Amino acid sequence: MKIIACIKQVPDTTEVKVDPKTHTLIRDGVPSILNPYDHYAVEECVRIKEEVGEGSVTVITMGPPQARSALLRCLALGADDAVLISDKAFAGSDTWATAYTLSLAIKKLGSFDIVFCGQQAIDGDTAQVGPELAQQLGIPQVTYVEKVEINDKHKLTIHKQTEDGYHILEAKLPILLALLPPSSFQPEHPPMSSILKAKKKPFNVWDIEILGGDKSRFGLEGSFTQVIKTYTPPPRGECEFIEHDSKEAAKKLSEILLKHEALSKR
């Protein structure tokens, strides 16, 4: 089974601070990490490969040369080989141009069975690249996937998270799955032996020349959207934390709601 995982290196948003005056994000000095959704996706890819007992997991990303470390981490988690798609021409790509670039790389890799993506990246939170990639590859997609079971080499059972439970779906291959980790997910931390092995695995860097494709569809030029500004809205109104056990808290809350006439007494 040939599996491809699309991953992204992102700033660790738990470390990002907000400028109190401009409300913009301060990214300076913020460490880069493997997008946590993608971390789950890669672990799932490796698990499925091991369950099937044959095949390969290829991880790909589009990003600057520094994104190499995120790919190496995926190799340390058990992926077999990596492709870094890196060229200045890709700078400024929106989700559509990114999906186009990734689709070219996936086509260049040859046939595949499943493409995994994280549901979204913690920096942009758009959740658009996965579906757009499926569209450009011309394959079906399922999003919000928590779990995948392999029935045979051509069919999957997919547990898709919904607001009130799961949809259990059956799907044929090839397919793109956007994964959302369960709340219980504990990411694996690759030990040094895995890191040493990762360094010996195949690692390719592809630029615009190697990738080919329509040059007008890359980067800023190929993007339909642009991020003008990222900011955190200043807090509005007042917030009161009710710190009691649940019974006391409910009582206190009802008092407040009554006071503000949000509830009426019967």
Q: Which residues here bind another protein, judged by CB under 8 A? A: 31, 33, 68-69, 72-73, 76, 186-187, 189-193, 195-196, 198-199
**Alpha-carbon distance 32 to 57, whole Å?**
23
Name the residue nearer to another protein (CB basis): 192 or 228. Answer: 192
Name the residue nearer to another protein (CB basis): 196 or 256. Answer: 196
Name the residue nearer to another protein (CB basis): 190 or 219. Answer: 190
Least Å distance between CB 69 and another protein? 6
Least Å distance between CB 193 and another protein? 6
**Alpha-carbon distance 126 to 8, whole Å?**
13
Name the residue nearer to another protein (CB basis): 33 or 133. Answer: 33
Least Å distance between CB 58 and another protein? 19
Least Å distance between CB 33 and another protein? 8
118, 129 contact by CB (below 8 A): no
Name the residue nearer to another protein (CB basis): 74 or 114. Answer: 74
Least Å distance between CB 158 and another protein? 28
